[in-house]
Amino acid sequence: MALVSNTTYRSPLIDTLISDSAGYCDVFPNDRIFLSLRDRQLLSGYLLGLTNKQMAENLELSPRTIQTYSRHLLQKLGVNNRQKALIADLKIG
């Protein structure tokens, strides 16, 4: 059964994944990655299928700022799109 959040539908599994991603993960010398709160917010937006404009409204930022943060997050994770970023996040734990 899916939960309704505004006009976005989320399954309980997605809610679990979002809550489990609360751990911090910048790149440390041993190749570990640190995901800031903003990084985790962007990943949550990716998971929900939100556009940059929708994430900007939710986070009270400009779409251009979201685009910049997103580019940095993708570089940090070493991927080139949102789907691969979500997969990388799951691998990081």
CATH class of the region 3-92: mainly alpha
**pLDDT tens figures, 71-90:** 999 999 989 999 999 988 88
pTM for the model: 0.66
Any residues with CB less than 8 A from the CB of 44 and at least 6 apart, and which? 18, 21
Residues 49, 52, 54, 59, Cα dihedral to 10°:
110
**pLDDT tens figures, 28-71:** 445 667 888 999 999 999 999 999 999 999 999 999 999 999 99
Helix orientation angle between 63-77 and 37-48, rounded to the nearest 10 degrees: 100
